Chains A and B, each alone.
Chain A
Amino acid sequence: MTGNAFDEMGEGDRLRPAYRAIAEWLRKTPPTDLAAKRAEAEVLFRRVGITFAVYGEGGDPDRLIPFDIIPRILGRSEWDGLSAGLSQRVRALNAFLADVYGRQEILKAGKIPEHLVVGNEQFRPEMRDFTPPGGIYTHIAGIDVVRTAPNQFYVLEDNARTPSGVSYMLENREAMLRLFPRLLAQHRIAPVNHYPEELLATLKAAAPERAGPDPTVAILTPGSFNSAYYEHCFLADEMGVEVLEGADLTIEDDVVYMRTTAGPKRVDVLYRRIDDDYLDPKAFRPDSMLGVPGLMAAYKAGNIALCNAPGCGIADDKAIYPYVPDMIRFYLGEEPKLENVPTYLCEQETHRSYVLEHLHELVVKLAQGSGGYGMMIGPHATQAERAEFAARIRARPQDYIAQPTLALSTVPTLVEAGIAPRHVDLRPFVLSTKDEVRIVPGGLTRVALREGSLVVNSSQGGGTKDTWVLDRDPMTGGVPC
């Protein structure tokens, strides 16, 4: 796969201008120096405690996600195009959520089959006919984007519930600033460190009106055993707000309070990083120990804002994904600026027979899965694995979707054997209020560290890179872009 993929740096006369200084730096720096810097980076990350625990795996509970010291670079105009597309997409997703929990115009217009929405596990009837403060549902979205050519970006999936990874975006930049101050100074890189401020402004804007101009914001975490716990604490610290567990909250007369050493204190906005299912044992899973009984009632009484709103899962469901371009046309009256990856829904008979005949060239995914679990990459799968997936698809077609295997772009990466191209994706974080959509330039670049691998998920051995958006486009100087 790697050989014929688009390499974002390029080489020789195809060296792309944004990478000119990096190419020079890589050429001049002895491999031992790079290895030393990588070791130094690992010490930095371990020291700040940024670790990632993987559910259901033994081994090191404080595993680090590997950090690659070679940055991934986007030119200004590349980013501007991408950013406009992301903003458009998230506006449509919010409009879709308001609609499916409200008048359901898009279903009435026949643009999306009704059963895909109303019959979906991710659809929360509890949210019908309730409008969250400001009418925004997914305040914080992470949109996974891949690239196959200089001007060809695809949205691989939307994460409208509780996307994680932004702490890596911030810590990666911090690490680069400490490791390579000169290299960064040579480039003019758009800063990312104001993300926590933007996030806090977004959360405050979501507060119920009665909270006044300075609402009390807190993060609700499943606890220190969650893989993203570091991130929850990190963001709380950066924003100067508390990070709460369910047991820290009490609810009286539909008003939410946190327990403090000085007595109960009212909370107005919860940036919750707990899944819907566990949010409130009274409203959702009764066996949940993580949530807060009565939280949904307090939410619907208008006493607290939940970010993101419950029920956002219907917008990022893989079965709904193929319809996002139609949503953009339907709600915004615009043509989509970013493309979807062509997607086959196995529950549709014509799609299913195509999928079953082309398993060797498709990626098959669970419609409900995430984190790279339960997927099969056709070209890399064995005959037996393909046969197994064929049987699973026939048994439960509604659970599976399939997409062509894209030749994801590559970026030079420091691996055992030296510097080699590795496939990457990008997760930018999109913040929405009723007035505007804000995106900090860049996002989290994930890199598949194994040669030829297309799976970038950290739970599957992926790493991360710092993502640079240049403040200006580099001079092209006649070099093809």
Chain B
Amino acid sequence: MLSRAAESLFWLGRYTERAANVARGLAVASRMASLTDELNAENDQWRSLLVAAGCEPAFFQHHREATEEKVVDFLIRDPGNFSGIIPCFAAARQNGRSVRTSLTVDMWSALSDSWTRLRHVTPADFQGEKLHGFLEWVRERVLLFNGAAMDTMLRGEAWLFVQLGTALERADATARLLDVKHDLLGGPSREVTVQHGQCQAVLQSVSGLRAYQWTYRDRIEPGRVAEFLILNREMPRSLAACYDRVCEVLELIAAGQGGRRGECHRMARATQAALHAGRIEDIMRGGLHDYLTETINGVATLGGEIEAFYIRA
């Protein structure tokens, strides 16, 4: 397929996934902020969220204080923030529009109808009491888009590049989410209620609370949460599962091109192998923050290699 089309599809996958991840992050931060002071002692939910979304520096260029209202506005509406929900949808739609014919009508409708509503959204539609409903709607729209893709899209290269974008973005989001909480997940034990509440929030933001309980059938412990979201291949948003998907998709693209492979294939496989063989104890021993920083950089490098091999060649 055309390199430019592959690029648009890849970013279509990334931007839709990013919009949903920001919505998930916001929902959890809002929940944490509304819990007891004790639980919210550090009062840094909003700041952490900016870090997780990778937009902390950009935010503080324009704002002095990370208040709820400002962070919510920045992460939902602010046209200057490319990782905000509405700008992500705008970018997703623009990418979708430029490969309109590779999308099915259902995918396009999911994108386009979302945009039709979002372009008229004002702060009154998402601030305060409206926030929860709005975020729920965003998540549903992305689920609808993913479902439409899953159910209707021809399983050709176009499909694979959307999947590649989604899987890579998801790996990035999970690594960032964990990194924000690395103190909690990798550090010494603290007061139980705080710890429990925060772990719960992390799991909720990846729709993984139930899944955790099914897997461990035991109380929520920080180390297990890290293990679950890094190494568990059955958990669809874990790093291992995301890398499984990235490798699977890269192999399918290579198979369609007579086995043509490049550095991106080697790199993805190496990371996947390390995740398969990895043990949480070893990761903790080396320092969770360092591990996650390396992972975040690795995702970015892999993204660059994919573009170099398929798009800019």
Contact = CB atoms under 8 A, between A and B. Distances in A.
A247 B109 CA distance: 28
B303 to A, nearest CB: 15
B108 A49 contact: yes
A261 B6 contact: yes
A244 B2 contact: yes
A473 B34 CA distance: 75
Contacts of A46: 112, 116
Interface in B216-273: 253, 257, 260
A237 B101 contact: yes
A234 B102 CA distance: 11
Contacts of B157: 261
Interface stretch (B18-26, B92-100, B131-139): B92-100
B3 A248 contact: yes
A194 interface: no
A223 B116 CA distance: 22
A236 interface: yes
A261 B3 contact: yes
A261 B253 contact: yes
Contacts of A237: 100-101
A224 B3 contact: no
B112 A258 contact: no
Nearest to A230: B100
Contact of B2 (A47, A49, A260): A260
B2 A242 contact: yes
A245 interface: yes
Q: Could you tell me the dominant secondary structure of chain A's interface residues?
A: mixed
B280 to A, nearest CB: 37
Contacts of B109: 47
Interface residues of A, number: 23
A262 interface: yes
Contacts of B313: 259, 263
B122 to A, nearest CB: 18
B277 interface: no
B51 interface: no
Nearest to A235: B101
A216 to B, nearest CB: 12
B101 A49 contact: no
B1 A236 contact: no
Contact of B101 (A243, A262, A263): A243
Contacts of A248: 2-4
Interface string A181-224: 00000000000000000000000000000000000000000011
A39 interface: no
Interface string A254-272: 0000111111000000000
Contacts of B98: 223-224
A247 B260 contact: no
Interface in B281-313: 310-311, 313
Given A261-B157, A261-B310, A262-B257, A224 B97 contact: yes
A395 interface: no
Given A261-B253, A261-B311, A263-B313, A247 B4 contact: yes
B105 A47 contact: yes
A236 B101 contact: yes
Interface in A16-54: 46-49
A242 B311 CA distance: 16
Nearest to B97: A224
Contacts of A49: 97, 100, 108, 112
Given A47-B109, A224-B94, A259 B101 contact: no
A258 B3 CA distance: 9
A233 B100 CA distance: 7
Given A47-B105, A49-B108, A49-B112, A259 B97 contact: no
A238 to B, nearest CB: 9
Interface in B99-146: 100-101, 105, 108-109, 112, 116
Nearest to B115: A62
A308 to B, nearest CB: 22
A48 B116 CA distance: 13
Contacts of B101: 233-234, 236-237, 243
B12 to A, nearest CB: 13
Contacts of A234: 101
Contacts of B108: 47-49
B152 to A, nearest CB: 14
Most buried by A among B97, B157, B257: B97
Contacts of A262: 257, 260
A260 B3 contact: yes
B253 to A, nearest CB: 7
A233 B108 CA distance: 14
A258 B105 contact: no
Given A224-B94, A245-B4, A261 B105 contact: no
A248 B7 CA distance: 12
A77 to B, nearest CB: 38
Contacts of B97: 49, 224
Nearest to A247: B4
A392 to B, nearest CB: 39
A258 B2 contact: yes
B139 to A, nearest CB: 23
Nearest to B102: A237
B121 to A, nearest CB: 16
A46 to B, nearest CB: 8
Contacts of B2: 242, 244, 248, 258-261
Contacts of B5: 242
Nearest to B309: A261
B94 A261 contact: no
Nearest to B7: A261
Given A47-B105, A48-B105, A224-B94, A259 B100 contact: no
Given A48-B105, A248-B4, 11 more contacts: A46-B112, A47-B105, A49-B97, A224-B94, A237-B100, A242-B2, A242-B5, A259-B2, A261-B157, A261-B253, A263-B313
21 contacts: A47-B109, A48-B108, A49-B112, A223-B98, A233-B100, A233-B101, A236-B101, A242-B2, A242-B5, A244-B2, A248-B2, A248-B4, A258-B2, A259-B4, A260-B3, A261-B2, A261-B3, A261-B157, A261-B161, A261-B311, A263-B313
Interface of A: 46-49, 223-224, 230, 233-234, 236-237, 242-245, 247-248, 258-263
The 5 closest A-B pairs by CB, nearest first: A237-B101, A259-B3, A261-B310, A262-B257, A224-B98
